A and B are shown apart, each in its own frame.
Chain A
């Protein structure tokens, strides 16, 4: 439900932040949504009670990231949550999420990740097959390629594997360069997303030339990001932590 005086875009942005906060709450075992200091999100619970569909844009945009905390913590996704995530696909089909011809394949892969995650919750989601991932191998420079991988960061979850993941394993050095480049450009959103891949390949046993823990902390301390960015850093941290468990 739109808030008075806000545009649909602002509502969607708020929904993404709100759902990210909820996911963060699950990941941090906080017993509720977590809003990082400095990020004022309007009354989380009130928004939920006002309109049961208020979270759908957030669930659609975050995709597998909204459910990832349950996967990472081994806790079941509440059935109403899983159903809402599936319903978000019906309300916002792939051609409604603003993909251009150049980026449609990225959306397809992200939807694949969400569908695979929902399958774990016993929900089948009909999404297009993502293809062979040739586009991701087709990048010219490490700069461009790492940004492309950032757009695919919601695939960087334990239990998911495929050609994009194979490219990440092969490209650990390019990812690392892209991550440091994003940090130095103070593009913390991109940095956090690339860090997800670094965490994934490290957990997979690939040697990476970076110590991720201080970097993730730096992203959180220097802020400038969003709840969603903080969620990315926490997921990355959790994924890296799996390495020793």
Chain B
């Protein structure tokens, strides 16, 4: 990958991180929040996503000291919002068959933030056939498998079978894909490789398939200014043993990013209200940080995370 792409990836990610950090107060959990709240995407999911992005920065350590300090501050903030894990633990206790507490918790464990009761609870749940039988979309099964792996839960998965069950695992006609399916496809790659830590875990047929078709998808979604998805696709590129995309996708993102670091999710006008703008575009900031981080890390060869047996 050429130096210009790396510089662009780094700049976009760094600016997105600062914007996310500057606006973090817009993303606090309401004080009355209880484990049964309905507005799952309101603050809970974004906090988990911020934890994901920053945990990858702390894992890879390819950012400068200033950015790493911000990343640490942001993940500590999110951990605080979740009452040092109590919130996630209580939510899992209340709903043993939902998977988001474990998936969210796993990001924090990457950064060394743990909750002892949560660990015990997960070990127990991992033994239950009822938990094994939870009905999920195939790419979501991989999300659970990766969360278990990252959090150190001693549950074993048939990764090859899980990957084969996904849309991507079928290596289907690349000319019949829609926006939502594209997101599912990206997450299949993220979970199998643990967000770029292990490109070698991608099955060979999927790797070969993406090598040919990923540049096409970047092209068509860049053309219609779907910046959030383009960012995800570029992150997928960084999860391949040999990245295949050229600089154009990154350049489109760089051109779209505002001076203050906000990267719009698409070409729609950005809301004047900063809180609404944060809610609308925080996911794209997370995507930019993730894509920038793993692109740099792959290029520099820093990932040293071992694969649990």
Q: A interface vs B, CB < 8 Å?
A: 141-143, 173, 176-177, 179-181, 183-185, 209-211, 214-215, 218
Contact = CB atoms under 8 A, between A and B. Distances in A.
Nearest to A215: B175
Contacts of B213: 177, 180
Contact of B175 (A141, A143, A173, A218): A218
B177 A184 contact: yes
Contacts of B217: 184
Interface string B181-220: 0000000000000000000000000000000110111011
Contacts of B216: 177, 180-181, 184
A215 B219 contact: no
A234 B212 CA distance: 26
Most chain B CB atoms below 10 A, which of A143, A177, A180, A210 = A180
A181 B177 CA distance: 11
B212 A176 contact: yes
B176 interface: yes
A176 to B, nearest CB: 7
Most chain B CB atoms below 10 A, which of A184, A209, A214 = A184
Interface of B: 173-177, 212-213, 215-217, 219-220, 223, 246
Nearest to A191: B175
A133 to B, nearest CB: 25
Contacts of A173: 212
Nearest to B224: A185
Contacts of B176: 183, 218
B212 A209 contact: yes
B212 A143 contact: no
B175 A185 contact: no
A184 B220 contact: yes
A187 to B, nearest CB: 11
The 6 A-B pairs of least Cβ separation, nearest first, read A183-B175, A180-B175, A184-B220, A180-B216, A180-B174, A177-B216
Given A181-B220, A185-B220, A214 B173 contact: yes
Contacts of A210: 173-174
B249 to A, nearest CB: 13
Say what secondary structure dominates the interface of chain B: helix
18 contacts: A143-B219, A173-B212, A176-B212, A177-B212, A180-B213, A181-B216, A181-B219, A181-B220, A183-B176, A184-B175, A184-B177, A185-B220, A185-B223, A209-B212, A210-B173, A214-B173, A218-B175, A218-B176
A214 B175 CA distance: 11
Nearest to A182: B175
A193 to B, nearest CB: 15
A183 B176 CA distance: 8
A173 B214 CA distance: 13
Contacts of A142: 215
Given A183-B176, A184-B175, 19 more contacts: A173-B212, A177-B215, A177-B216, A180-B175, A180-B213, A180-B216, A181-B219, A183-B175, A184-B177, A184-B216, A184-B217, A184-B220, A185-B220, A209-B212, A210-B173, A210-B174, A211-B173, A214-B173, A218-B176
B61 to A, nearest CB: 35
Contacts of B177: 184
Nearest to B213: A180
Contacts of A177: 212-213, 215-216
Contacts of A143: 219
B207 to A, nearest CB: 13
Contacts of B219: 143, 181
Contacts of B212: 173, 176-177, 209
A142 B176 CA distance: 20
A104 B216 CA distance: 29
Nearest to A181: B216
A75 B223 CA distance: 45
Most chain A CB atoms below 10 A, which of B177, B216, B223 = B216
A143 B249 CA distance: 14
B250 to A, nearest CB: 15
Nearest to B177: A184
A239 to B, nearest CB: 19
Nearest to B221: A184
B215 A215 contact: no
Contacts of B174: 180, 210
A210 B174 CA distance: 9
B244 to A, nearest CB: 10
A209 B241 CA distance: 19
B173 A215 contact: yes
Contacts of A180: 174-175, 213, 216
A210 B212 CA distance: 10
Nearest to A173: B212
A24 B175 CA distance: 26
A239 B128 CA distance: 56
A178 B159 CA distance: 33
